[in-house]
Amino acid sequence: MKTETTVSFETKFEEEVFEGLTAFPKFLSSKYFYDKKGDKLFQDIMALPEYYLTNCEFDILSEHTEAIARTFNSPNGFDLIELGAGDGKKTKILLRHLSENNYDFNFLPIDISQNVLDELKTSLEKELPNVEVRPQQGTYFEVLERLAEYKERKKVIMVLGSNIGNLLHPQAILFLKNIRESMVEGDLLFMGFDQKKDPQTILDAYNDKTGVTAAFNKNILVRINREMQADFDPDNFLHWETYDPETGTAKSFLVAKKEQSVFIGTLGLKVHFKQWETIHTEISQKYDDDVVEWLAKEAGLQIDGQFTDNKEYYKNYIFTKS
């Protein structure tokens, strides 16, 4: 029988770490990978040759820039709202085209990391000074509530990088429903979905030989050490990736190399690990057209178009309210 705990939490991070590390099997949320160090590691991942997602979407945005811009536009202009903006490397392709061709738009980058937003705003002020930038910090669900207030002109909600892939299908449907609720007739959702492909290509993307992805995955332990006075030794854990081609689900784990105990000071919590015990940290879902169409239908959306790279590794779909 589960007993009530008297542990008090100063942050949501503490609460979710407590929940995940006292569960069986253990888990931690990948959203906490992203502190200043994690942001830099993820940028390094996106530059890896194995991490095809970035290049595929970069190619899509480069080759179809004009067509995408025309799809986004309306007589009264539009608000371009990007969830999970990151460093904006890919988005800048569109922003530059929109700015140089005098489109009437505002750019609202949304990210959980204030550090990322600050860096993005600074770089845009230098590279594209004519673009009106209005950063907003918060989780997707927090920000989506605020997005519903933007009704004066067309909204284009953009989610690049296959971020929806971090959600299981029921969560993905809920996420899409939340986006739909923030949309009015005429609004668009422009979202990237990594496609099913050679399983080895997918495994290589999340388990590079240089160890950058492993360091990114282990960074959550480093962050717990720093923010919660814990004593994890990241070297005692192995980064492990799996992919199921039937379900299209890639999973990341941290695996304890030896039996050990870890103390988390701010929580007063001692966590015991058996040898080879796992912490599930992330999923990365892969899709095909049928799955995307099903997700959209369940969420009350419809596909109005799509763009893909020349290998068809990746697709950006356009959705409207059905």
Domains and CATH numbers, the chain: 12-48+201-285 (no CATH), 52-197+287-321 (3.40.50.150)
Q: Inform me whether the pLDDT recorded for 199 exceeds 60.
A: yes
Q: Inform me whether the pLDDT recorded for 73 exceeds 90.
A: yes
Provide the pLDDT for residue 154. 95
For 124, list phi and psi in degrees, rounded to 5: -70, -35
Our CA dihedral for 289, 291, 296, 299, rounded to 10 degrees, sits at 180
- Of 160, 89, 97, 157, the residue nearest 123 (C-alpha): 89
Provide the pLDDT for residue 3. 46
Q: Inform me whether the pLDDT recorded for 7 exceeds 80.
A: no
Our CA dihedral for 88, 89, 93, 99, rounded to 10 degrees, sits at 40
Distance separating alpha carbons of residues 133 and 306, to the nearest angstrom: 27
How does the average pLDDT of the chain come out, rounded?
Answer: 93
Q: What is the pLDDT of residues 221-276, one digit of tens each?
A: 999 999 999 999 999 999 999 999 999 999 999 999 999 999 999 999 999 999 99
CA 193, distance to chain mean position in Å, is: 11
Q: What is the pLDDT of residues 109-122, one digit of tens each?
A: 998 888 889 999 99
Q: Inform me whether the pLDDT recorded for 4 exceeds 60.
A: no
**How many other CB atoms are there within 10 angstroms of residue 97's CB atom?**
16
pLDDT band at residue 317, thresholds of 50, 70 and 90? very high
